[in-house]
Structure formats: structure tokens, C-alpha cells
Amino acid sequence: MTRALILLRRRLVGSVFVLLIVVVGTFLLLEAAPGDAVDAYIVSTGGDAGMIELLRHRWGLDQSELTRLANYSWALLHLDLGQSVTFSRPIRDVILERLPNTLLLMVSATALSFGLGSALGIYAGARPGSFRDRFLSIGSLALYAVPGFWLGLVLIVVFAVDLRWLPIGGIETLASDKTGLDRAADIAIHLVLPVSALGFIYLALYLRMMRAGMAEVWRLDFVLAARARGLSRRRIVLAHVARNALLPLVTMLGLQSAQMLGGSVVIESVFSVPGLGRLAQEAVAARDTPLLLGIILTSAVLVIVINLLVDITYAFLDPRVGAGEAGA
């Protein structure tokens, strides 16, 4: 427990610098882009020079970049993400409305890809070189090569348009007034296609990693000793080979969290899921820099938290992890 706390403390200190780089770097990049929220507003609604000057003053766009960065950083220290230009509401409230949908999509897709991918990887790696091993390896490579948006469109055409088994998009039926288990079931049905489109891509990666890890473990001495003791192949696979091959996949969970979050942006757009991905699109279209900064900062915090949880989990699974840091 002490070793895990020391590891957590060191990771938290490093995370502060990561967030600082994210805030400053993102702010400067967005400021370097042509146009701003006033330009987007004028293009869509029209207005004269007086209105442009008034809006720039109201939204603080008439100040220098350094002043705006200093004001934004000071507000962040007080956990204030600012006001959204598009929604005329606190950015924190807007993000908190959309964040649960993105988290639900990410967690469901991660559970699908990690669980099913690991199981298929164990099934393939249990007999290296067999027909099922080669079939699953080739199939996973083909699946990994498929773009997520294309897979999502194919799933919509087949299961929503042609067969009409599942809804085309959205997170739940509008104006259905469903509550409790009925609403949960409705949300689950709406998530089948987007979760499948997002999860199947990473399922192939976990399958190949698990299969490759098991191929390496099969050649280790303790596996040969277990076979010499007359243990059944099933016990060797589950208790020895798969258990040791599973550790790298736990690390991959943290590394894939950022990619999973990025992939959810595309999937949310394809399936009209009201999450952070679609919100980011709306912020970009409206040149709502404060909202986009809030989304990016929230995403960075989310990725950092996931990686912290993965590090702690790995430290419990493998006592060697973090031992050097704890000793330091």
C-alpha cells in the first residue's frame, strides 16, 4: 500500500506539469488559428463594425494574448472554466452535461474490446500455430485496418436501415419519458452500434497483444516446469500463461485511453451521440475558444486519471513495478 501511495504521489506531481503544458500549448495554438468567435458569429448572423467592437469587448477578445492567458490561468486556479460564447452558460455546466455520455461510451467500448479481445487472444494463443490461431490473427489484422467511421456507417446501414433492429443514432429515445430500468434499457439499445464501432477496432489490438504475449510466455522455464509436472493444458493456459501475458494489456489500457477518447469524437459524430466529441465539433464551428479549451483540459484530466488508475492496478498485480521509485 505504501509503495502504491508513493507511486501515486510521484505521478500526481508529474501530472501538474502535464496539465500546465496542455493549457499553455493549447491556448497558444488556438490563438494562432485565424478568426475568432466574433468572426464566426458575424458570418452566421451578420452585423456592423459597432457590433463587432462590442462583442470583442464583451468576450474579452480585445485584450492581448498574454493578458487573456493570465486571466484564464487565474480562473483555472479557482476551478472556473469560464463562460461559453456559444451557449451563454458556464463551461463547467455544459461539459458536465455531455461528459457522462462520453464516459459511458468509452467505458462500454473499453470493456468490450479488452474483455472480448483478451478472451479471443487466450483462445488463439492456447495453441500457437493452429488454424484458429492463424484465422483470428488474420481477422484481427483486417479488423484493425478498418477505419472507425466506415465501420460505424456499415453497422448503421445493415442493422439500423436494412434490418431495422437498432436505432440509427442518439443516446436515448427523445421525449419517451422513460425512467428506471426502462430508460437504462433504452440507452443500452442506443449504445449497441456506437460501442461496437468503437470497441471492435481496439478489440483487434488486444487480441493480437494477448496472443503475442502468450506465445512468449509459452517458452519460459516455469511453463516448461508446469508441463513436466503433468498439469493439464487448460490449467497451464489459464493459471500460468494467460495470467502473465495479461500484464502488458493492463498497461495498454492507459495508453489506449487517449486514442479511445479521440476515436469517440468520430463515433459520436457518426451516431449523433451528445458527448464531448460532438461538443468539440460545435465549439470549433463557432470558434468558441474557451469552450474548446475546457473540453481539451477535461480530456487531459480524464486521460491522466485513467493512467493513474492503471499504474496503481499494475503496481498491485506486479510487485516489481514502482519498487525502484519507492526506494528512491
Q: What is the pLDDT along the chain (328 residues), one digit of tens a residue?
A: 566 566 677 777 777 888 888 888 888 887 777 766 666 666 566 666 666 677 666 667 667 778 888 888 888 888 888 888 788 888 889 999 888 998 888 888 888 888 888 888 878 777 777 788 788 888 877 877 788 778 888 888 988 888 888 888 888 877 677 777 888 888 889 888 998 888 887 888 888 888 777 777 776 677 777 777 777 777 777 666 767 777 777 777 777 777 777 778 788 888 888 888 888 888 887 778 888 888 888 888 888 888 787 777 766 666 555 554 444 4
**Eight-class DSSP state of 174:** T
Which string of DSSP letters, residue by residue, matches 37-88?
HHHHHHHHH---HHHHHHHHHHTTTTS-HHHHHHHHHHHHHTT---B-TTTS
Give Cα 320 distance to the centre of its chain: 28
Q: What is the pLDDT of residue 326?
A: 47
Q: What is the pLDDT of residue 318?
A: 61
Q: What is the pLDDT of residue 62?
A: 67
Residue the block writes with cell 485565424: 34
Task: Please count the other Cβ atoms lying within 10 Å of the Cβ belonging to residue 41.
Answer: 20
Residues pairing with 83 in the sheet: 90
- 296 contacts 22 by C-beta, under 8 angstroms: yes
- Those residues whose C-beta lies under 8 Å from the C-beta of residue 182, and which sit 6 or more positions away, are none
